[in-house]
């Protein structure tokens, strides 16, 4: 039995990972750590009521001394890191904040963790955005072409982890997932925003007509990849994790409309393209399938049905929740 810590554990992906590990990993316990107290139940999904789970609010950059004191008490064998200053579209302003957390803060943390004998594995959740726009499925050794300060800051920490593993034997793995979605996701993301717009009679602004193509997986599939990497992957390996083919944003919104039982034209309206939008994210995930047997299992129909059920269950709270991204320290 192992203790798992999930940094960035207050976010929707961290919460779904906690649920998955509690149900499938036979853990000693699962500890979520995030910069804020847990959000209301539409976003926390009641994770705090799960036996074997606990949550603490510490900022990975600004409260690292307190975070390390907590980790020394918990002594987790596995740390999964989602913690990041996210959202590439807004990273052109105050770009230094992205490097402060995604590069410098995490490098400081791992330098401290390298001195702890209780740590067996640190799993970094990277991003497919570091490959930039591609014409073919990108493998893990694809040349790095970040097209936003956010992606560049994530690249910097990935490269740091590669070096400290190679020369100092820091026990790490990196997973570079495609875009994930799930119940509980904040409403500035296209899928939950589309669902809530459809349920409240609003129009979703479809940036650039939805021509950009991205790859999507359900957060539960990502959680399963994390569990398999924690149990089976050789230390030091980097894995892409995503579907076989990308999907245009327009098609994603069409699928959301289908799940809602409404016409596509009633759900959205055209909007200008956002700055720095890459035209296609597409991952070659043959390595993770070959090494540890992972591939996505949750299709669009199942995943979007869950999203609609979530939206209907919590509609009164969701209809007044902000739909824009808020920059925080």
Q: Looking at the 3D structure of the chain, how many domains does it have? A: 2
17 and 140 co-located in one domain: yes
120 and 223 co-located in one domain: yes
171 and 190 co-located in one domain: no
Task: Find all residues with CB under 8 Å of 115, minimum gap 6, and list them.
Answer: none
222 and 93 co-located in one domain: yes
Convert the pLDDT of each residue in 214-245 to its tens digit: 999 999 999 999 999 999 999 999 999 999 99
**Which residues form the domain of 159?**
3-180+218-241
Convert the pLDDT of each residue in 126-135 to its tens digit: 999 999 888 8
State the pLDDT at residue 290: 98
State the pLDDT at residue 326: 62
pTM of the model: 0.94
Strand-pairing partners, residue 43, are: none
Tokens linked to 159: 């490269």
Least confident of 150-159, 184-193, 203-212, 252-261: 203-212
Residue range 170-184: average pLDDT?
A: 97
CATH of the domain at 168: 3.40.50.720
Residue 290 lies in a domain: no
131 and 155 co-located in one domain: yes
98 and 135 co-located in one domain: yes
Residue 263 lies in a domain: yes
Placement of tokens 């979530």 in the chain:
310
Question: Mapping DSSP to helix (H, G, I), strand (E, B) and coil, where does residue 213 land?
Answer: strand
State the pLDDT at residue 89: 72
- Per the CB < 8 A criterion, the answer to whether 3 and 29 are in contact is yes
State the pLDDT at residue 309: 98
Residue range 282-288: average pLDDT?
A: 96
100 and 149 co-located in one domain: yes
190 and 305 co-located in one domain: yes
203 and 123 co-located in one domain: no
As a whole number of angstroms, the distance between CA 72 and CA 274 comes to 43
82 and 30 co-located in one domain: yes
User: For the chain, what percent of residues have pLDDT higher than 70?
Assistant: 95
162 and 22 co-located in one domain: yes
Residue range 119-141: average pLDDT?
A: 94
State the pLDDT at residue 147: 86
Does residue 273 carry a pLDDT above 70? no
As a whole number of angstroms, the distance between CA 153 and CA 64 comes to 19
64 and 203 co-located in one domain: no
């Amino acid at each position: 039995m192992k203790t798992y810590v999930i940094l960035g554990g207050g976010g929707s992906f961290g919460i779904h990972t906690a649920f998955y590990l509690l149900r499938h990993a036979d853990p000693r316990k699962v500890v979520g750590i995030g910069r804020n107290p847990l959000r209301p139940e539409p976003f926390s999904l009641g994770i705090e009521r799960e036996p074997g789970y606990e949550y603490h609010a510490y900022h990975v950059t600004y409260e690292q001394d307190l975070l390390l004191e907590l980790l020394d008490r918990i002594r987790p064998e596995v740390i999964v890191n989602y913690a990041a200053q996210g959202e590439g579209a807004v990273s052109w302003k105050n770009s230094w904040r992205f490097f402060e957390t995604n590069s410098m803060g995490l490098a400081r943390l791992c330098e401290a963790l390298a001195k702890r004998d209780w740590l067996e594995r640190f799993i970094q959740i990277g991003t497919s955005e570091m490959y930039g726009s591609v014409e073919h499925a990108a493998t893990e050794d694809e040349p790095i072409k970040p097209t936003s300060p956010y992606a560049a800051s994530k690249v910097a920490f990935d490269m740091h982890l590669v070096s400290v593993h190679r020369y100092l034997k820091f026990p790490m793995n990196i997973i570079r997932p495609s875009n994930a979605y799930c119940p509980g996701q904040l409403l500035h993301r296209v899928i939950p925003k589309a669902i809530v717009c459809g349920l409240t009679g609003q129009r979703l602004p479809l940036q650039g007509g939805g021509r950009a193509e991205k790859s999507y997986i359900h957060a539960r599939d990502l959680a399963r990849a994390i569990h398999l990497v924690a149990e089976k992957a050789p230390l030091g390996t980097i894995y892409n994790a995503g579907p076989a083919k990308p999907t245009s944003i327009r098609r994603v919104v069409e699928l959301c409309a289908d799940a809602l039982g409404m016409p596509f034209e009633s759900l959205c309206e055209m909007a200008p393209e956002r700055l720095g939008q890459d035209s296609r994210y597409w991952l070659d995930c043959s390595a993770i399938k070959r090494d540890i047997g992972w591939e996505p299992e949750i299709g669009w129909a199942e995943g979007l049905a869950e999203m609609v059920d979530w939206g209907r269950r919590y509609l009164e709270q969701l209809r007044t929740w902000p739909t824009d991204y808020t920059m925080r320290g």
